[in-house]
Structure 1
Amino acid sequence: MGRYFLLLFIVPFSYAVQAQVTKEYYENTSMLKAEGTLQNGVKEGVWKLYYPSGKSQGEETYANNTLNGNVLYLHPNGQPSLTGTFSNGKEQGIWKEFYNNGKPSVQAVFKDGLRNGLYKEFYANGQISIDGSFKSDLKDSTWKEYYPNAQSKIEGRYILGNKEGDWKEYYENGKLYHQAFYKNGKIEGKVFWNFPEGTKELTGQYTAGKMEGEWIDFYKDGKPQSVSHYKDSLEHGLFEEYAESGAKLFKGFYKNGLADSTWQYFYNNASSTKKSVEIWNIGKLMSAPEYYDQTGVKLNAGALANGNGMRYFYYPKGAKMMDINYQQGLESGIAVSYYENGVKKTEVSFVMGLQDGMMNEYYPSGMMASQTNYVHGSENGLHKEYGKEGWLSVYGFYKNGSEDSIWFEFHANGKIFSEGYFANGLKEGEWFEYYDTDTLASRGNYEHGKPVG
């Protein structure tokens, strides 16, 4: 009897030692982040979560260190942000997301971690924005999307993630924007897009998801803007473009997506006076034998032949506009453009058809306006801009075509106007603006280009 009593005492004591309330803190602070039970080193039961402010962030339920049971997450104002249930670490049943005003933003049904069943999204005003269903995490139902004013935006049907049958898109004013037919997830047959007023913007056709045949872009008055032809989604055949007046601007031919054969360009006037002629060979310019001013007077087109040599461009009245050298049918070396009065406008360096090296731009006065370095066709490296009197106004660096460095703007007296960092073309971190007296005018923080705080 005494031995049995001793065992009863030892077992509960041993369990109490192994199961203990544990608290987690935000790194390098004393601010509570989470608290709950650890049993044999793994999370068990309900764990409570906290914001750095100390307010509740919600709670999670664990079994053997795996989410299992109800979860509740809260916005900082105490309104729920997400509710749902886990079963052995996988979402199960109805899940709901909420805006911080308490209205629902998303409702979904899960089975074994995959969306299965009804799916809805809502705007912050409570109006439904998406209404559909999933099967094994693939869209599989009639699918409808709406504008905040409840007007239909998109309607169609998915079968296991693929669009099927007629699909329609609408403007917020209720007018039809786009209509297409899908087969096994690929567009098939004739398609069109409309302007908000209801007139055609673009017409064409697809075969097994690829653009084929004649495609026409329209102006709002119904006149054609361009007529092109496609094969396997590549431009192939005659291409023509027109001014809004109806005057033809140019016509030429493509072969498997590359300019080919004879291209003719015209001035935008009543008689469509010929401007120039080019001869292409599968994406490479071989010659440019003709150039005319707007009255039809023939000008010196240059010495480009067999893809090599200099070619000239002109303003409508006959003043030279640009000199470009070609090698093997591609721009090569320094190309120079001019203002109509003959003052140099730009200097651009090309290597095998791509900008490579420093591009210089000039004001009509001849003063430098900007300098930008290019590598293989995109801005990479130093960028400077100057005021009309010659003072440095902008200083920074590009990477793969986007601002990506510390970036400065300057007042005319040389004092810094603004400074901050760009990452992939978007403002990041702290930015400062100053008066021309060097005193701080404003400061702000950015994340992915958007102001925060």
Structure 2
Amino acid sequence: MRSLLVLFLLSLFISIHSFGQKKIKTYYSDKSVKEIFEGKASKKDTIYNGSYEIYYENGKLWQKGQFKDNLLDGFWLDYFEDGKIKQELTYVKGNLEGISKTYYNNGKINQIQAYKNNLLHGKLEIYYTNGILMEESEYYMGILHGKSASYFEDGYKRVERFFIEGLENGDYIEYFENHNIKEKSCKKKGKYDGFFVGYYKEFKDSTVKHECNYANGNIEGEFKGYYPSGNIMLNCNYVNNIIEGEYRLYHDYKNVILIDSLYLKEIGIYNNFKKVGLWKSYYQNGKLHTIGNFVNALYEGEWLVYFEDGTLKQKGSYKNGLENGLWINYYKSGKLNFEGNYIDGKRVGNWKWYYETSKIWKDCSYENGELIYPFNFYDEKGNLNFIYSEE
């Protein structure tokens, strides 16, 4: 035990040194009593045998108990400096045995422990300072083995689980602070294995947030996520804890349960947790939003962006994840908004912006991504409005 017996060297003896059993006292530097014990003392060694007491410097009893042949033996008491009991312990030949108790300074029980041969063996109970049970677990020769449960300070359960030889095994249930279920799962040899269901904190009806299966601690197979409405949010597949294959993300329709129709938000392919191939995203009305390809998680080739009504908004190309070549952006009317070129993600050459009447309103140039001054602004009739310079 962390607070149990820090034995001090004998500082001063009342009696003449001998090898007989004596009542011995030691003292602090201010000559107040530190220890009173029975034993044998010589210049070379001290053997404790019989009653033992040690005191704080303020004169209050710190610990009391018995020694037998220099080993802790029998019932021991440990006190706080204000005189309140801190621990109740039982020893046999120097080892903790049976029930031990520790207390908070307010007098409430802190822990109740069962020991065998100095190892936790049996039930362990831990309490909050208000007396509410915090944790109860079963031990076998120092190792967690059997049922284990922990609780919030209001007394409601936080986690319930089962241990075999120190590792979590079997059903696992965890709760939020508001008493709603947070997770239901299964574990094997300390790792997630089998079903897993996670829940939203806000809903008492245990609304599912996501569900999947584990194998040896890794997500395997189908993974589903849900909106609070119960509508599906995403659907994908895992291999050895990595997203692999088709990935589908869905829009949610508030207060509407979708049964016959599913509204895609995004669809594409993962390979080794990297986006590859054709990816599409959609507006909530089902119209295409973006379309293009990934290579090894990088944008590649032509990408198109659409307005919600289906008209083209932007088109441009990527190379190794960077903008490359001509990029064109349109107004919703279909008229040209701006156009210009990229090389390796940097603007180059002449760039032009247009009014919706097709007249130029800004005309400038870039070199290696840097804007070149001066550049021109025009009015809606095409007349030069002003020249913008860096000064």
Query: 2:210 is matched with which residue?
Result: 202
Match of 1:279 among 289, 294, 303: 294
Distance 1:136 1:200, change over 3 A: same
Tell me: CA distance 1:210–1:15, structure 2 relative to 1, closer, same or farther (3 Å). Answer: same
SS in 2 for 1:100: coil
Letter in 1 for 2:129: A
The letter of the residue matching 1:50 is Y
Q: 1:115: how far off? A: 0.8
The alpha carbon displacement at 1:230 in A equals: 1.0
Shift of 1:175: 4.5
Answer whether contact 1:247 1:272 (CA < 8 A) is retained. no
Instruction: Give 1:139's aligned amino acid.
Output: L
**Does the alignment pair 1:227 with 2:235?**
yes
Contact 1:250 1:263 in 2 (8 A): no
2:269 to 241, 250, 253: 253
Matched, 1:91 2:107: no
Partner of 1:22: 26
RMSD of aligned alpha carbons: 4.4
Structure 1 distance, partners of 2:74, 2:278, is 69
Correspondence for 1:264: 279
Provide Cα deviations, 1:323-343, integer angstroms capped at 9, x if missing partner: 9968xxxxxxxxxxxxxxxxx
Give the equivalent residue in structure 2 for 1:44: 48
Q: Output the CA distance in 1 between the equivalents of 2:176 and 2:278.
A: 38
Question: In 2, distance between residues paired with 1:162 and 1:41?
Answer: 45
The corresponding residue for 1:364 is none
Shift of 1:49: 4.8
Flag the 1:105–1:300 CA change in 2: closer, same or farther, 3 A: same
The TM-score, its normalising length taken from structure 2, stands at 0.61
Task: Say if 1:310 and 1:14 are closer, same or farther in 2 by CA, change over 3 A.
Answer: same
Q: Deviations over 1:281-323 (max 9, x none)?
A: 2xx5262531425455353545424x6x547999999999xx9
Aligned counterpart, 2:371: none
Partner of 1:238: 246
Instruction: Report the secondary structure of 2:285's partner residue.
Output: coil
Q: Do the aligned partners of 1:42 and 1:64 also contact (CA within 8 Å) in 2?
A: no
CA–CA distance in 2 between the matches of 1:127 and 1:55? 30
Mapping of residues 69-108 of structure 1, within 5 Å: 70-87=75-92, 89-108=94-113
Deviation at 1:60?
6.9
Deviations 1:221-272 (A, max 9, x none): 112222221112222222233344486443333333x204126353654235
- Highest Rg: 1 or 2? 2
**Residue equivalent to 2:226:** 218
* Cα distance in 2, alignment partners of residues 158 and 183 from structure 1: 9
Where does structure 2 lack aligned partners over 5 or more consecutive residues? 1-14, 254-261, 332-336, 346-391
Question: Residue 292 of structure 1 is aligned with which of 305, 310, 314?
Answer: 305
Pair 1:131 & 2:136 matched: yes
* TM-superposed deviation, 1:107: 0.8
Q: 1:148 to 1:133 in 2, by over 3 A?
A: same
Call closer, same or farther: CA 1:107–1:290 in 2, change over 3 Å. same
Q: Is the 8 A contact 2:251 2:284 kept in 1?
A: no
Distance 1:63-1:34 versus aligned 2 partners, 3 A rule: farther
| 1:268–1:22 CA distance, 2 compared to 1 (3 A) | farther
Which of 109, 117, 125 is the equivalent residue of 2:122? 117
Normalising by structure 1, report the TM-score: 0.54
Give 1:347's aligned residue: none
Question: Which residue identity lines up with residue 300 of structure 2 in the other structure?
Answer: S
- Given the superposition, is the C-alpha separation of residues 203 and 63 from structure 1 closer, same or farther in structure 2, using an over 3 Å criterion? same
| Gaps in structure 1 of 5+ consecutive residues | 1-10, 327-453
| Paired residues of 1:262 and 1:278 also in contact (CA < 8 A) | yes
Deviation digits for residues 168-222 of structure 1 (CA, Å, limit 9, x no counterpart): 3344565543322344544443221222422111111123443211111212111
Secondary structure in 1 aligned to 2:228?
coil
